[in-house]
Chains A and B, each alone.
Chain A
Amino acid sequence: MREREPKLLLFHAPLLRQATTTPKAMRDVIYALLPATGAAVWFFGLGAILVLSASILGAVAAEWLFGSRAAGAAGCLRGRSLLDGSGLLTGLLLGLTLPPGLPLWMAFLGGFVGITLGKLIWGGLGQNLFNPALLGRAFLLATFPIAMTTWVPAAAGTGLTDLYPGSLALPFMQSGIDGVTAATPLGLMKFEQEATPLAALAFGNTGGSLGETSGLLLLLGGLYLWLRRDLDWRIPVGILLTVASFSFCLGLFDAGRFPAPLFSVFSGGLLLGAIYMATDPVTSPVTPKGAWVFGVGVGLLVMLIRVFGGLPEGVMYAILLMNAATPLIDRYTQPRVFGYGVGSE
Chain B
Amino acid sequence: MKKNASYEEFVKGIWRDNPVFAQVLGMCPMLAVTNSAVNAIAMGMATMFVLVGSSFLVSTFRRVIPKQVRISCFIIVIATFVTIADYTLLALVPRVHKELGAFIPLIVANCLILGRQEAFASRYPTKLAVMDALGMACGFLVALFSLGAVREILGDGALFGIRLFGESFEPWVIMILPPGGFLTLGLILLFFNWFTQKKNDFLADVAGSEGRGG
Binding site for B on A (CB under 8 A): 103, 106, 117, 139, 142-145, 147, 169, 172-174, 176
| Nearest 4 interchain pairs by C-beta | A142-B174, A143-B174, A174-B170, A143-B172
Mind listing 6 A-B residue pairs with CB under 8 Å? A103-B170, A117-B183, A142-B177, A143-B174, A169-B170, A173-B169
Q: Which residues of A contact B169 (CB under 8 A)?
A: 172-174
Contacts of A173 in B (CB 8 A): 165, 168-170
Q: Which of A139, A172, A174 contacts B174 (CB 8 A)?
A: A139
Q: For the complex formed, measure the closest distance between the CB of B148 and the CB atoms of chain A, giving whole angstroms.
A: 18
Contact with A along B164-197 (1 / 0, CB 8 A): 0100111011110101000100000000000000
The answer to whether B170 and A142 have CB atoms under 8 Å apart is no
Contact of B173 among A103, A117, A144, A176 (CB under 8 A): A144
User: Which A residue sits closest to B166, measured CB to CB?
Assistant: A173
Which residues of A lie under 8 Å from residue B179 when comparing CB positions? 142
Report the bound CA distance from A197 to B183 in whole Å: 42
How extensive is the interface on chain B, given as a class? 10 to 19
- Cα separation A117 to B184 with both chains bound (whole Å): 12
A216 to chain B, nearest CB (A): 35
> A145 vs B44: C-alpha distance in the bound complex, in angstroms?
31
- Whether B165 lies near A142 (C-beta < 8 A) is no
Given contacts A142-B173, A172-B157, A173-B170, 13 further A-B contacts (CB under 8 A): A143-B173, A144-B170, A144-B172, A144-B173, A145-B173, A169-B170, A172-B165, A172-B170, A173-B168, A173-B169, A174-B168, A174-B169, A174-B170
User: Does A143 lie within 8 Å of B168, measured CB to CB?
Assistant: no
What is the 8 Å Cβ interface bit string for chain B, positions 146-161, against chain A (1 contact, 0 not)?
A: 0000000000010000
Per the bound structure, the CA–CA distance linking A286 and B169 in Å amounts to 45
A242 CB to closest chain B CB, in angstroms?
Answer: 29
Report yes or no: A143 in contact with B165, Cβ–Cβ below 8 A. Answer: no
Give the complex CA separation of A143 and B156 in angstroms.
Answer: 11
Which A residues are CB-close (under 8 A) to B165?
A: 172-173
Contact partners of A172 in chain B: CB under 8 A: 157, 165, 169-170
- Cβ 8 A contact of A147, one of B157, B170, B177: B170
Q: How far is the CB of A129 from chain B (nearest CB, A)?
A: 15
Enumerate B41-82 residues with CB–CB distance to A below 8 Å.
none
> In the docked arrangement, what's the CA distance between A144 and B172, Å?
6
Residues of the B chain whose Cβ atoms lie less than 8 Å from the Cβ of A169: 170
A169 and B170 alpha carbons, distance in the complex (Å): 10
- The closest CB in chain B to the CB of A176 belongs to B168
**Which A residues are in CB contact (< 8 Å) with B183?**
117
Please report the C-alpha to C-alpha distance between residue A142 and residue B183 in the assembled complex, in whole angstroms.
13
Give Cα A144–Cα B169 distance, bound, in whole angstroms.
12
Q: How far does the alpha carbon of A341 sit from the alpha carbon of B132 in the complex, in Å?
A: 62
A345 CB to nearest B CB, Å? 39
Q: Bound complex: CA of A139 vs CA of B180, how far in Å?
A: 10
List chain B residues, Cβ under 8 A from A147.
Answer: 170
Task: Say how far B200's CB is from chain A's closest CB, in angstroms.
Answer: 18
Q: A117 to chain B: which residues have CB within 8 Å?
A: 183
List of B residues within 8 angstroms of A106 by Cβ: 170
CA distance A188 to B169 in the complex (A): 30
Interchain CA distance A123-B172 in the complex, whole Å:
27
| A209 → chain B closest CB, angstroms | 19
Kindly state the separation between the CA atoms of A147 and B171 in the bound complex, as whole angstroms.
11
Distance between A41 CB and nearest chain B CB, rounded to angstroms: 26
Per the bound structure, the CA–CA distance linking A143 and B100 in Å amounts to 23
Contacts of A145 in B (CB 8 A): 173
Instruction: Give every chain A residue within 8 A of B174 (Cβ-Cβ).
Output: 139, 142-143
Give the residue among B174, B177, B183 with the most A Cβ atoms within 10 A. Answer: B174
Would you give the shortest CB distance from B159 to chain A, in whole angstroms? 14
Q: Which residues does chain A contribute within 8 Å of B173, judged by CB atoms?
A: 142-145
**One of A103, A143, A174 near B175 (C-beta < 8 A):** A143
A139 to B165 alpha-carbon distance, docked (Å): 22
CA distance A142 to B178 in the complex (A): 11
Q: Report Cα–Cα, A139/B170, bound state, in Å.
A: 15
B168 surroundings in chain A (CB, below 8 A): 173-174, 176
- A264 CA / B15 CA spacing, docked (Å): 55
A2 CA / B153 CA spacing, docked (Å): 49
By beta carbon, the residue of chain A nearest B183 is: A117
In the assembled complex, the Cα of A145 lies from the Cα of B175 at a distance in Å of: 12
Closest beta carbon of chain B to A134's beta carbon, Å: 15
> Complex formed: what's the CA distance from A172 to B170 in Å?
6
CA distance A145 to B176 in the complex (A): 13
Residues from chain A with a CB closer than 8 A to the CB of B177 are 142
C-alpha spacing A174/B168, complex, angstroms: 5
Please, how many angstroms separate the alpha-carbon atoms of A156 and B179 in the complex? 39
**Residues on B with beta carbons closer than 8 Å to the beta carbon of A144:** 170, 172-173
Complex CA gap A142/B172 in Å reads 8
Please name all residues of chain B whose beta carbon is closer than 8 Å to the beta carbon of A176 when the two chains form the complex: 168
Inter-chain CA distance A130–B136, complex, in Å, is 37
Nearest CB of chain B from residue A176's CB, rounded to whole Å: 5
Q: Which residue of B lies closest to A113 (CB)?
A: B183
Residues of A near B157 (CB, < 8 A) are 172
From residue B6, how far is it (CB to closest CB) to chain A in Å? 40
